[in-house]
Amino acid sequence: MKCPFCENPDTKVIDSRQTDDGHAIRRRRECENCKKRFTTYEKVEEMILMVIKKDGSREAFDRNKIYTGIVKACEKRPVPVAKIEEVVDEIERGLNNMMEKEVESSFIGELIMEKLRDLDEVAYVRFASVYRQFTDINTFVSEIEKLLTSKKGN
């Protein structure tokens, strides 16, 4: 680490500790040349995930969109907010662990549907009706039949 005062490349770490939030390491350093002290912070470099929309456009991943969609699907259902936040965290963590720079919006939609199927069946059908753009009652019935069939298989 180069000294910010004299630009000497030789500095030594004299103290290291985690920041209060635990997401970075604070290091006190001393220049070997001018003996001045300074602080540096080390943290994990977060990769920006881009979402490829149906029309081919790209936008930065926004966890609030997932949260809002799940909250709407769970409206007036006995699903605690803490459980919704847990599901959103799981989805976001899963996407970040893929280590991809870009992901299709359809992949994210399927992840949400998978989590909602386990969380609340009514919320699942609500989300599916919007996500899959159900056009008539037969599409609803078909999706419910798939849900019932998968329940019998478990």
Contact 50, 62 (CB under 8 A): no
For the segment 42-80, what is each residue's pLDDT rounded down to a tens digit? 987 777 899 999 999 999 999 999 999 999 999 999 999
Q: Are residues 54 and 37 in the same domain?
A: no
* Confidence grade of residue 149 (pLDDT, cut at 50, 70, 90): confident
Q: Are residues 37 and 100 in the same domain?
A: no
What's the total number of domains in the chain? 2
Tell me which residue range forms the domain holding 134. Answer: 50-153
Q: Are residues 68 and 131 in the same domain?
A: yes
- List 51's β-bridge partners, or say none: 59, 103
- Residue 68 covered by a domain: yes
Tell me, yes or no, if the pTM score tops 0.85.
no
Which amino acid is located at 150 in the chain?
A: S
- Residue 58 covered by a domain: yes
